Amino acid sequence: MTFPTRPEYEALIYSLPNRFPEIKASTVHLYSTSTTVAIVQGEVEVAALRLRITEVVDFRAGRIREYSYTIFHGNQRIRWYDPQPHPENPALQSTFPHHDHEDPDIKHNRLPAYGLSFEQPNLLSLIEACIELGKRF
């Protein structure tokens, strides 16, 4: 599967509430920074959770350059995802460098982040994770 074109990625972003009836609200938008690069930013509300999304997408290279995803319950950060490499942690090798942070000790408790990639959109798997996580609240 190839990385979506800009129009395909925009269609994905703006169709999220139609794809997932669990989404209460979405402020996710795609903003151009050049003819081939865009920033995707905003939040999606699912159940009692908010997913904050930031991506830098390079459509010429066909990949996500950078990302940050954070899940909040109220004002409490309960999980975040990042691609900061931690080669010293063998438990993260299966999804290297993609991982998430969650309790206990959210800053240091790192787990493999299955479904995240630089080469494919991450939004669908993140929203599915929020839907599952939201069942706990």
- Provide the residue ranges of all domains of the chain, joining segments of one domain with +: 6-134
Q: What share of the chain in percent tops pLDDT 90? A: 77
What is the structure's pLDDT at 137? 83
3-state secondary structure (DSSP) of residue 102 = strand
User: Does residue 1 have a pLDDT over 80?
Assistant: no
What is the structure's pLDDT at 109? 86
Interval 6-16 mean pLDDT: 97
Instruction: From residue 81, give the alpha-carbon distance in Å to each of 8, 34, 69, 130.
Output: 24, 26, 5, 12
